[in-house]
Amino acid sequence: MFLATMGIGTWSAQNWVQDTDATERKTALRHIEAHEFIRSFLNDLPKVPSHYCRSSTSKQYLEPVFQSIADLHREYHRAAEEKMVRPLSSKVFTEEFKQQNLGLYHPKKDQCDTCCSFKAGNLAENEWQDHLLKKEEACAEIVQDKNKANDKTMVVCMDLQALFLCPSLKASALYYKTKLAVHNFTLYEMSTQNATCYVWHEGEGTLSASEFASCVINFLSEHKEHEEYILWSDGCGYQNHNSVLSNALLNFCMETKKVVTQKFLEEGHTQMECDSVHSVIKRRLRNQKIYVPAEYVALMKSARSKPNPYEVKYVDHTFFQDFTNLRLCRSICPGIKPGDPTDVRAIRYNINGTMDFKTQHSDDWRPKQQLRHTSSPAVTQLYTNSLKIEEMKYKHLQELKEVIPKDFHSFYDNLKH
């Protein structure tokens, strides 16, 4: 009846059905292939090392090459066309991006997690009020310290700038290759507005507490004309809030007979003057081609003109000292028994080897217990040789030499791996 109604023969109907099934199968296979290409594309993109991201998340972050999902989708679209794969829509691409628990690396968060959590109704008001009180106390304290800065008292803020990558070029070949990490740790003197930047790449040092302690102690040692130092920073554990740096500062105070006070801003509200230094450097680097880390140093030196250009120190592995063997204080936690406070907002290191602490900036100083007054081992070199980078990274850097002038090839050839 169907054949008679349509006026067709058996052979025509059977071929239509077979062609439809084959088309549907081909469409399904192309759809699967397109999704697999998205996964492969995202898997091949280099990720930022874990110490640049929040430790409380399992999300992986892409290197700071792409500014937005739309920017990333455009590169995926181009790569799919090169591989003769049908590119999928931005919506499908974004869903796959989220399913893989990926994120774009943004070094500075614009909003405080605690404040956002309260606004979303996920945090009790009393906890948020306590957070605001700590923020306001820290802001008032840092203003007061700025007014105290003079020839005898140096007030400094310090922070690590967002990750630099080398080489840094507008070339699609770089998207799928891991690059060399370059670090800039900045100390900013608030009274004179002078800034000192310590720059190194991962072939010369890592981001352990001893690296940062080496920079801080070197900076203080070059400004011994002062009698007292006040250091402001965020509470980042591996940078500023650790016993390695505390032991280094206490040892410095005992040797030089100077007093150092270390103070911490409230998490989520850590804006400091050294952020302006990083902003100026970032603008100077915009649209610049960087082939080797030394070119970052040259551009950073020219980021601010006279009379106060930035002092940029390009250091290698011989600069870093190992402070982990110092055991003058066991920990920086103010409490020694269960129930004692564990958070610390300020630490004062005294010339006689003692330490005082505050759990609120408005509190009075209290003595730190459990200090050792025995002689400590001498501070030694942290590294005896340059560091080895990962074999895959070395391979990628060798492949990237095709977009790097030959004058710079020897730098990448001499990297240990």
Mean pLDDT throughout 137-149? 93
Query: Is there a contact between 142 and 11 (Cβ–Cβ < 8 Å)?
Result: no
Q: Which of 61, 77, 104 is the last residue of a domain?
A: 104
Tens of pLDDT, residues 295-346: 999 999 999 987 889 999 999 999 999 999 998 887 787 655 555 556 899 9
pLDDT value for 341: 55
**Residue 224 phi, psi dihedral angles, 5° rounding:** -75, 0
Residue 171 pLDDT class (50, 70, 90 cuts): low
Burial of 5 (0-12, 13-18, 19+ CB in 10 A): exposed
Q: Which helix (H) or strand (E) holds 156?
A: strand 153-160
pLDDT value for 327: 84
Is the per-residue pLDDT at 14 higher than 50?
A: yes
Average pLDDT, the chain: 87
pLDDT value for 372: 61
Is the per-residue pLDDT at 7 higher than 90?
A: no
- Provide the domain count of the chain: 2
pLDDT value for 19: 63
Q: What is the pTM for the complete model shown?
A: 0.82
- The residue ranking higher by pLDDT, 329 or 250, is 250
Mean pLDDT throughout 84-110? 80
pLDDT value for 84: 87
Say if residue 97 is in the same domain as residue 146.
no
Which of 121-130, 155-164, 205-214 is predicted least confidently?
121-130
Whether 38 is in a domain gets the answer yes
Say if residue 254 is in the same domain as residue 313.
yes
pLDDT value for 54: 47
Tens of pLDDT, residues 37-86: 888 888 888 877 655 554 445 678 887 777 788 988 988 888 888 888 88
Say if residue 89 is in the same domain as residue 218.
no
Whether 127 is in a domain gets the answer no
Say if residue 77 is in the same domain as residue 188.
no
Which of 232-236, 304-308, 384-388 is predicted least confidently?
304-308
Say if residue 38 is in the same domain as residue 157.
no
Say if residue 99 is in the same domain as residue 23.
yes
Say if residue 89 is in the same domain as residue 181.
no
pLDDT value for 407: 95
Which of 2-6, 258-262, 379-383 is predicted least confidently?
2-6
Whether 115 is in a domain gets the answer no
Closest listed residue to residue 186, CA positions, set 291, 310, 59: 310
Closest listed residue to residue 184, CA positions, set 96, 278, 251: 278
Which of 81-85, 152-156, 392-396 is predicted least confidently?
81-85
| Residue range of the domain that includes 35 | 2-104
Tens of pLDDT, residues 345-372: 999 999 998 999 999 999 999 998 666 6
Mean pLDDT throughout 275-280? 93
Say if residue 77 is in the same domain as residue 171.
no
**Residue 55 phi, psi dihedral angles, 5° rounding:** -70, -15
Say if residue 143 is in the same domain as residue 50.
no
Whether 120 is in a domain gets the answer no
Whether 156 is in a domain gets the answer yes
Dist. CA 123–CA 125, nearest whole Å? 6
Say if residue 67 is in the same domain as residue 160.
no
Whether 131 is in a domain gets the answer no
Residue 175 pLDDT class (50, 70, 90 cuts): confident
Burial of 124 (0-12, 13-18, 19+ CB in 10 A): exposed
Say if residue 176 is in the same domain as residue 63.
no
Whether 353 is in a domain gets the answer yes
Question: Strand pairing partners for 165?
Answer: 181
| HSE value, Cβ hemisphere, 13 Å, CA-based, for 325 | 10
pLDDT value for 376: 63
Say if residue 151 is in the same domain as residue 42.
no
Whether 261 is in a domain gets the answer yes
pLDDT value for 408: 96
Tokens of 244: 């390695």
Mean pLDDT throughout 379-402? 94
pLDDT value for 111: 64
Tens of pLDDT, residues 181-194: 999 999 999 999 99
Give the SS3 label for residue 42.
helix
